[in-house]
C-alpha cells in the first residue's frame, strides 16, 4: 500500500488551542455579551466531549435552565464574538504549532502527498492560526478544508472523513489521519482510516486502543517523539513520511 493522503485535525493536533485559546476566547465573548458564564479549565475539559463550538454552547445552556433559552441567532453571535477573540489571541503569539507539525507539513509537501483538514474550526480561526505559522499562502498546502459545519454531524460520526475520502478519491487504507481525541479517533477509524494520535493537554487519559499509533508528539530534531504501535512495539524518533507509510502498509 502507498500513502496517498494525510488528514489533519486542528484543535489539539496541529496546535494546543483549547486551554489558553478557545476557552479564554469563549469567556471573553460571554463577558462582552453580558452572559454570567465562566468556563474554568476543568469544566471546559468536560465540555470538550461535545464536539463543535455551537453544539458546546447549546449543551451548556441546556444544563443551566436558569440562564434562559438561547436562540440560534444568539448562539451564532456568541460563536462569532468568540472567534474574534481567538484570532486576537493567535495574533498576540499565544498559540503555536505543536512540535513537529511544521516539519511534517513541509515533508509531505516536498513529496507531493495531498493534505487536508478535518475540523470543526471556523475558516477565520484556521486562517489566523495557519497564516501566522505558515504564511499568507498557507491554504496552498491543503487540498480540501473539511471545516466548520461542512457536514451535518460532528465527530465521532465519520461523516467528515467520508466527505474527504470521496473528494480525494482514495482508498481509506492508504490514508493516515492525525488526531488527538477519542472522538476524532472513532470518526477516523469509523471511516476505515489508520489513525495516529498525539494526545493533547485535555486528552492524555482517553482511550486510544483503536489507534494505529499513539505518539507524544510528531517530534523534531533534538526533541524526539515517543511512540507506541497497536502491536505494542515502542520507540522514539521523528514521525516522518516513512513512518506514516509504515502505518498504511500494516
Active site residues: 9, 11
Give CA–CA dist 47/51, Å, rounded: 8
Give CA–CA dist 212/197, Å, rounded: 8
Region for residue 114 given its phi and psi (left: phi exceeds 0; alpha: psi -120 to 50; beta: otherwise)? beta
Cell reading at 93: 503569539
Amino acid at each position: 500500500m502507498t500513502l496517498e493522503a494525510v488528514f489533519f485535525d486542528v484543535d489539539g493536533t496541529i496546535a494546543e488551542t483549547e486551554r489558553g485559546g478557545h476557552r479564554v476566547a469563549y469567556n471573553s465573548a460571554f463577558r462582552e455579551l453580558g452572559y454570567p458564564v465562566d468556563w474554568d479549565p476543568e469544566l471546559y475539559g468536560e465540555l470538550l466531549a461535545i464536539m463543535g463550538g455551537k453544539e458546546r454552547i447549546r449543551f451548556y445552556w441546556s444544563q443551566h435552565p436558569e440562564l434562559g433559552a438561547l436562540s440560534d441567532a444568539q448562539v451564532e453571535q456568541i460563536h462569532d464574538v468568540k472567534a474574534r477573540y481567538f484570532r486576537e489571541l493567535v495574533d498576540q503569539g499565544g498559540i503555536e504549532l505543536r512540535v513537529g507539525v511544521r516539519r511534517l507539513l513541509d515533508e509531505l509537501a516536498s513529496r507531493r502527498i495531498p493534505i487536508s483538514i478535518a475540523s470543526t474550526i471556523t475558516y477565520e480561526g484556521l486562517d489566523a492560526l495557519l497564516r501566522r505559522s505558515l504564511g499568507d499562502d498557507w491554504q496552498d498546502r491543503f487540498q480540501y478544508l473539511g471545516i466548520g459545519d461542512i457536514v451535518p454531524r460532528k465527530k465521532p460520526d465519520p461523516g467528515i472523513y467520508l466527505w474527504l475520502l470521496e473528494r480525494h478519491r482514495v482508498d481509506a487504507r492508504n490514508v493516515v489521519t492525525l488526531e488527538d481525541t477519542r472522538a476524532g479517533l472513532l470518526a477516523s477509524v469509523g471511516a476505515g482510516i489508520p489513525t495516529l494520535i498525539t494526545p493533547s493537554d485535555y486528552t492524555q487519559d482517553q482511550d486510544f486502543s483503536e489507534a494505529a499509533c499513539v505518539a507524544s508528539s510528531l517530534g523534531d530534531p533534538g526533541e524526539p517523539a515517543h511512540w507506541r504501535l497497536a502491536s505494542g512495539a515502542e520507540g522514539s524518533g521523528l514521525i516522518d513520511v516513512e513512518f506514516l507509510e509504515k502505518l498504511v502498509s500494516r
